[in-house]
């Protein structure tokens, strides 16, 4: 029972065919892959999911703090 959730990466450019917004990311087993839906390019990602989640959380917090500061001023 393998369930793949593919997510498009906004603004990502395929290194093989050069098209934008054609790259999807998905997890398979313990690895993450990115794949181009246009030309079939596929690559395993070395980055761990936990590290990516932490980086995203920090980015969101930073954006929120900046937004509140602008309203107060
Ligand atoms: Zn491609």
User: What string of pLDDT tens digits covers the 73 residues of the chain?
Assistant: 566 789 999 999 999 999 999 999 999 888 899 999 999 999 998 855 555 555 555 454 444 445 555 556 6
pLDDT for residue 22 = 97
Residues whose Cβ atom is located within 5 A of ion ligand 1: 14, 16-17, 36, 38-39, 41
Measured in Å, residue 11 CA sits from the centre of ligand 1 at 13
Judge whether 4 and 27 are in contact, CB under 8 Å. yes
Q: Please, what are the domains in the chain?
A: 7-72 (2.20.25)
pLDDT for residue 25 = 95
Kindly report whether the global pTM for this prediction surpasses the value 0.75.
no
Residue count of the chain: 73
Judge whether 33 and 46 are in contact, CB under 8 Å. no
């Amino acid at each position: 029972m393998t369930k793949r959730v593919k997510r498009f990466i906004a603004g990502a450019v395929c290194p093989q065919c050069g098209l934008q917004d054609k790259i999807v990311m998905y997890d398979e087993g313990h690895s993450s892959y990115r794949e181009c839906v246009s030309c079939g390019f596929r690559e395993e990602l070395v980055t761990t999911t936990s590290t990516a989640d932490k980086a995203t959380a920090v980015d969101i917090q930073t954006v929120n703090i900046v937004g509140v500061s602008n309203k107060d001023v």
